[in-house]
Structure 1
Amino acid sequence: MKYIGLLCCYTAMLFGQNQYPKDYFRSPLDIPLQLSGNFGELRPNHFHSGFDFKTQKKEGFKVYAVAEGYVSRIKIAENGYGKAVYITHPNGYTSVYGHLQSGFGEVEKLIKSSQYQAKSYEIDVTFSPTELVVKKEDVIGLTGNTGGSDGPHLHFEIRDTTTEKIINPMYFGFDSVITDSKRPILNSLFVYPLDQNSIVNQSKRPIAVSVSQQADGSYIAEKVLATGKIGFGITTFDYDDVSWNANGIFRVQTSLNGKADFKYKFDTFSFDETRYVNALIDYGRYKKLGQRVQKLYTENPYPLSIIQSGNTNGIISVSANMTQNYKIEIADFSENLTRVFIPIEYSTLTSKVNEVPITSKYLVKTNKENVFSLENVTVSIPANTFLKDFYMDFEVKNGLLHLHDDVEPAFANMAITFEDSVSSEKDRKKMFIGSIDGKKIYYYNTKRYKNSFTVYSKYLGDYKLFKDSMPPKIKIDKKIGGKWISQQNELLFTISDDLSGIKSYEGMLNGNWILLEYEPKTKKLIHHFSDGIVAEGKNDLKVVVTDNVGNSTIFETQFFRSQKP
């Protein structure tokens, strides 16, 4: 069993500001720790809030309480962290364990009792300090692949209990186990013209800059010829010594002519600000090409606490008779450094690549509410939803709303309303607004008032009013009707819905509610006979699955089972 350290103290009052205890927590696993994702890593719509520990592509490894404390929260969800256990420790921190296959021992009993009490698979329950106390090294769960997980692993976090801010686990001694002696790698460098008068390397659009790596590991960029205001962006990643896959970096610092200019560091942040990952990156490029360019400037400042910048916000003004030297320093947690040196020179060369022409007449002003209407559609955009003004493509054709391409990040909900004056009342009860991405339709929770349908969304793109009159499908994986199934330990179903999606599911055995665990990735519903609801002999089973507009399918059968050894 691998330890990060020995217990040394019990209260956060012993620690000075930002002096985290490095020998208080043990490893949550007793297998070698390898990362498939690190703290602050750039993810869709969020910064990664902890560590993802690899579990050898398998489920079922024991998960240990990293220190003494009590189970303060259990959250079970079909997405997100899946099955997650929270332990609050007496030193002022809370540890989080996500994507579990199940709890273990008393923790699993608490999960099941909470689910049966709520009559729901999905629960979010908090507990007092005396309800379930755990000791350091107690097994509290088994690793799994539940929720929004792409493969078996353990998601692990450390939070400040009072503020609920997430803290980089490296500060707590994990850097002694996940060693790193390798410099971060610069993958690409971009330069951005930032106003109408800016030209960079004869382009009025963002452009890649060639770099050459030196013998000492640093990079020297080709000379940037520019005029006006410009900014830089990078794609970068880091390898540690034990994980063998690329992860995010820890810190970026820029300087102009030797003076510190712009900096961000993935040390701690709150969940309220994590969506600002879409402001830190070149969101439009990411949505078009899947490439996350980290911008080293802010045109319109936003409240992301990891950023520190001076008066220029990382923006460089290039004017006549001026040569400037720009430096980027990229670091991992172990302070392995990669430096990028960029010479900048004023240039009067004209642009060969002009800005993308504006074809829309709909200007979104970020500092005011914007309301646009066409045919039967109205879109209301609150003030400060976007970080900058832009001309928005807005078109309604054959019932399809085209609300620009999803290349501008939104940070508040837009209200999208469709009026329908032609459908019957019966049909309206089965209607919803969905977004369209290629051939895929995404259901949005739709509010209806008479013939008006409204959704709230943070995404630009295509929307349409749909009608769903088809009920969900239920298929039992092994036929049990009229059979004795004494050797079977579970009931397994596959459920699906072709349009609006599954909203709820409920199972009854002999009139008693039973827990059905749902895994959307596999579309599987499972009930374990170990829950103790199944009766000796004859059992009547009923499963009801309902979609998001109220269509339901009922599956009923009868089977026999003996619980005797």
Structure 2
Amino acid sequence: MKLHLFILLFSSFLFAQTEYPKDYFRSPLDIPMQLSGNFGELRPNHFHAGFDLKTMQKEGLNVYAVADGYVSRIKISTFGNGKTLYVTHANGYTSVYGHLQRAVDSIENFIKKTHYKEQSFEIEMYLKPGELVVKKGQLIALSGNTGASEGPHLHFEFRDNITEYIINPMLFGFDKLMKDTKKPMFSGIYVYPLDEATTVNQSKRPLLLNLVLQKDGTYTADKVVANGKIGFGINTFDYDDVSFNKNGVYKVQSFYNGTPNFGYQFDTYSFDEMRYVNALIDYSRYKKTQQRVQKLFMKNPFKLSIIKTGKSNGVLVAEPNLTALYRIEVSDFYGNKTTVSIPVKYDVLPAIIAQEPVLSKYLVKASKDCNFEKENMSVFFPAGTFYDDFYLNFDVTNDTLFLHDDTVPAHSNFTISIDDKKFTEAQREKLFIGSVGGGKIGYNATSRKGNVFTTKVKTLGKFALVLDTVPPVVSIAKPIEGKWISDKKTIQFTISDGLSGIKSYNGYLNGKWALFEYDNKTKKITHNFSDGIVAEGVNELKIIVMDNLGNSTIFETRFFRSQKP
């Protein structure tokens, strides 16, 4: 009776929910809601912060305010959510609308004036109550494909006004706008030996377990025969009845002999926790196979608030005379649930599959500062840079720093320093520490003190000093020099830089700054003649593009245009 009561109390504590208003907000679109991405979905270096709403594979759909409020923030970026509006509501929450094509009416006019005032495409504004008031159902924008979007859709999310935590839109009644009768699915169950002494099913390496569907709709996995510390991981996804694509699951809970062992539920979390997705998943497997296996254990605890576990942190210990049952349940927001049961038994069997060989002699302790030096290069890892201890491959060869590879995730910045003894003083003004490999060069913001160059990065790999004296390239598909282009609504150029990357660009029409919008995906900048900067008749156009090392290109041309109908 005491154990039963403990389980009930523990389960209630795990996922107690705040009460959110269910009928306060409407949909931001006037088409049926379909998801191309849901809340909490596992993404590169982050959990998804909201819904990705399908827009029929096109741009320009009406986007509406989901409730009364005021536009409290506007951010126009070439990355991330692109063109984004934030609307603060009186009930304590803010709605967010991302990847927009543009805002409309007074909001768009305000944005356009700010572009010209700040003479920048990328802008961020915080507004006061009363400046841009909106009503529930008011058209505020058109959907688009700006920023890091991989196709036309609307990114939509909710945030708490005080904590700025992001909140699952389903909690606000958005579950009523969709139908979901489908259970989540497992595409893989893995068992992990968690120390050198442990063998699992005669393996020293993680193993994929076979699953057998039972008549009641549950699954049973292969028996796990082990000695020592073990953990489990799952590859899982969910479908709904209307979206026809794989989404993330809402809730994961494991039980050991009926007692809750490890679980998480995607209700709300902070942006500061986003990068812990790399600790939750088997990151090495993801980098090698693109499969995101979610670990149901923590070898070293990390501060992801959605995880609820006991003292064991999900780690099981197979000991003599043990016969146990491990159960995993995955659920969607609608309560559809899939269960797999895994028998666990203790036995000492000889290992057939050996551990992966350790090729390095450099041990990095995650809880301690670590510094490594060779020749003219060094790296410093502050305590807490990594989630777990590991053996680091570290070497310097042919002026290149070999710093393991991107199969071990870093949670925070570490510092790389290179003492240059090769380049001239003039050349040092054009040097940066680049990420090199795979035929590509990645720019890292680099500081210099004398001959020593320093950068802070979050990804392991290969690094070297890169000399950049090459200016950016500006091109146009069809030259307009000396031509009449009265029938054109816009003018467009491609700008690119193959080394340090573009830092800034500016366009000028007849000596006046002109807004050119930048699309990072296509590397194109576009000016819309409706801005009213273009003159009647002859126009002188100048475009100045600068890279991160100060190399610049000036493109100039002359064209003619009539504004008369």
Question: Which TM class, normalised by the smaller chain length?
Answer: over 0.9
Indicate whether 1:441 and 2:441 are aligned. yes
Q: Give the match for residue 188 of structure 2.
A: 188
Q: Give the match for residue 66 of structure 2.
A: 66
Q: Give the match for residue 154 of structure 1.
A: 154
CA shift for structure 1 position 437: 4.1
Q: Give the match for residue 295 of structure 2.
A: 295
Q: Distance in 1 between matches of 2:329 and 2:232?
A: 13
Q: Distance in 2 between matches of 1:268 and 1:437?
A: 38
Deviations 1:107-130 (A, max 9, x none): 111111111111110011100011
Q: Distance in 2 between matches of 1:196 and 1:420?
A: 41
In the alignment, residue 129 of structure 2 is paired with which amino acid?
P
Q: Give the match for residue 218 of structure 1.
A: 218
Q: Distance in 2 between matches of 1:86 and 1:437?
A: 39
1:488-527 paired onto structure 2 within 5 Å: 488-527=488-527
Deviations 1:121-159 (A, max 9, x none): 001110001110001111111111110111000000011
Q: Which runs of 5+ in 2 are unaligned?
A: 1-15
Q: Distance in 2 between matches of 1:516 and 1:103?
A: 16
Q: Distance in 1 between matches of 2:332 and 2:91?
A: 27
Q: Distance in 2 between matches of 1:17 and 1:116?
A: 45
Q: Distance in 1 between matches of 2:129 and 2:214?
A: 56
Segment of structure 1 superposing worse, 309-318 or 482-491? 482-491
Indicate whether 1:30 and 2:49 are aligned. no
Q: Distance in 2 between matches of 1:356 and 1:375?
A: 30
Q: Give the match for residue 265 of structure 2.
A: 265
Alignment: residue pair count:
550
Q: Give the match for residue 534 of structure 2.
A: 534
3-state SS of 1:156 partner: strand
3-state SS of 1:145 partner: coil
1:92-491 paired onto structure 2 within 5 Å: 92-491=92-491
Deviations 1:198-242 (A, max 9, x none): 110101111111111223321100110000010000000000111
Q: Distance in 1 between matches of 2:264 and 2:88?
A: 29
Q: Distance in 1 between matches of 2:117 and 2:215?
A: 64
Q: Give the match for residue 555 of structure 1.
A: 555
3-state SS of 1:325 partner: strand
In the alignment, residue 439 of structure 2 is paired with which amino acid?
K
Segment of structure 1 superposing worse, 224-233 or 358-367? 358-367
In the alignment, residue 480 of structure 1 is paired with which amino acid?
I
Q: Distance in 2 between matches of 1:150 and 1:398?
A: 38
Q: Which runs of 5+ in 1 are unaligned?
A: 1-15
3-state SS of 1:273 partner: helix
Q: Distance in 2 between matches of 1:449 and 1:330?
A: 53
3-state SS of 2:325 partner: strand
CA shift for structure 1 position 384: 1.1
3-state SS of 2:71 partner: strand
Segment of structure 1 superposing worse, 363-372 or 188-197? 363-372
CA shift for structure 1 position 422: 1.9
Contact 1:223 1:345 in 2 (8 A): yes
CA shift for structure 1 position 547: 1.1
Q: Distance in 1 between matches of 2:210 and 2:17?
A: 42
Contact 1:365 1:390 in 2 (8 A): yes
Deviations 1:1-37 (A, max 9, x none): xxxxxxxxxxxxxxx9711111111111111111000
Deviations 1:42-87 (A, max 9, x none): 0000000000011111111011011110000000111000000000
Q: Distance in 2 between matches of 1:113 and 1:193?
A: 60
Residues 70 and 287 from structure 1, CA distance in 2 versus in 1: closer, same or farther, beyond 3 angstroms? same
Deviations 1:131-190 (A, max 9, x none): 100011111111111101110000000111111100000011111112211110011000
Q: Distance in 2 between matches of 1:375 and 1:504?
A: 36
Indicate whether 1:544 and 2:544 are aligned. yes
Q: Distance in 1 between matches of 2:498 and 2:460?
A: 24
CA shift for structure 1 position 266: 0.4
Deviations 1:460-501 (A, max 9, x none): 111111111111111123322122222221110011112211
Q: Give the match for residue 44 of structure 1.
A: 44
Normalized against structure 2, the TM-score is what?
0.96
Q: Distance in 2 between matches of 1:77 and 1:539?
A: 29
In the alignment, residue 76 of structure 2 is paired with which amino acid?
I
CA shift for structure 1 position 311: 1.2
In the alignment, residue 318 of structure 1 is paired with which amino acid?
A
Q: Distance in 1 between matches of 2:232 and 2:127?
A: 48
Q: Distance in 2 between matches of 1:73 and 1:215?
A: 53
CA shift for structure 1 position 356: 1.7
Q: Distance in 1 between matches of 2:217 and 2:87?
A: 42
Q: Distance in 2 between matches of 1:186 and 1:17?
A: 26
3-state SS of 2:546 partner: strand
In the alignment, residue 65 of structure 1 is paired with which amino acid?
A
Cα RMSD (Å): 1.2
CA shift for structure 1 position 550: 1.1
Q: Distance in 2 between matches of 1:503 and 1:426?
A: 21
Q: Distance in 2 between matches of 1:391 and 1:435?
A: 21
3-state SS of 1:27 partner: coil
Contact 1:478 1:492 in 2 (8 A): no
3-state SS of 1:279 partner: helix
Q: Distance in 1 between matches of 2:326 and 2:261?
A: 9
3-state SS of 1:408 partner: coil
Contact 1:473 1:553 in 2 (8 A): yes
CA shift for structure 1 position 251: 0.3
Deviations 1:224-281 (A, max 9, x none): 0000010000000000111011100000111111111111000000000010000000
Q: Give the match for residue 18 of structure 1.
A: 18
Q: Give the match for residue 5 of structure 2.
A: none
3-state SS of 1:288 partner: helix
Q: Distance in 2 between matches of 1:422 and 1:326?
A: 60
3-state SS of 2:434 partner: strand
Q: Distance in 2 between matches of 1:54 and 1:215?
A: 36
Q: Distance in 2 between matches of 1:480 and 1:254?
A: 65
In the alignment, residue 108 of structure 1 is paired with which amino acid?
E
Which ranges of 4 or more aligned residues in structure 1 deviate by more than 3 Å? Answer: none
In the alignment, residue 158 of structure 2 is paired with which amino acid?
I
CA shift for structure 1 position 564: 2.0
Deviations 1:296-318 (A, max 9, x none): 01111111000000111111110
Aligned residues with identical type, % of pairs:
59
